[in-house]
Copies of this chain bind each other. A is one copy, B any other.
Amino acid sequence: MLNNYSTEDKVLLAVDCIIFGFDEESLKILLIKRDFEPEKGKWSLIGGFLKKEETLDIAAIRILNHLTGFQDIYMEQLYTFSKVDRDPVERTISTAYYALINIAEHDKELIQKYSAKWFDIAEAPKLIFDHDEMLDKAIKRLRYRASTKPIGFELLPQKFTMRQLQKLYEAILAEKLDKRNFINRINSFDVLVKLNEKDMKSSRKGSYLYMFDKNRYDKKVLNGFTFKI
Contact = CB atoms under 8 A, between A and B. Distances in A.
Interface of A: 1-5, 8-13, 36-38, 49-57, 77, 79-80, 82-84, 89-93, 95
A11 B9 contact: no
A113 B95 CA distance: 35
Contact of A79 (B52, B53, B77, B82): B77
Contacts of A83: 55
A56 B84 contact: no
Contact of A36 (B1, B13, B80): B1
Contacts of A1: 36-37
A11 B52 contact: yes
Contact of A89 (B3, B56, B79): B3
A160 to B, nearest CB: 29
Taking the full assembly, how many copies of this chain does it contain?
A: 2
A56 B93 CA distance: 9
Contacts of A4: 89-90
* Most chain B CB within a 10 A radius of its CB, from A4, A51, A79: A79
A224 to B, nearest CB: 13
5 contacts: A3-B37, A8-B49, A53-B84, A55-B82, A77-B80
Contacts of A93: 13, 50, 56
A89 to B, nearest CB: 6
Contact of A54 (B2, B37, B53, B84): B84
A2 B49 contact: no
Contacts of A36: 1-3
Nearest to A95: B80
Nearest to A7: B49
Contact of A9 (B38, B51, B55, B84): B51
B2 A82 contact: no
A15 to B, nearest CB: 10
A5 B48 CA distance: 10
A61 to B, nearest CB: 13
B82 A50 contact: yes
Contacts of A89: 2-5
Contacts of A38: 2
Contact of A49 (B5, B55, B92, B95): B5
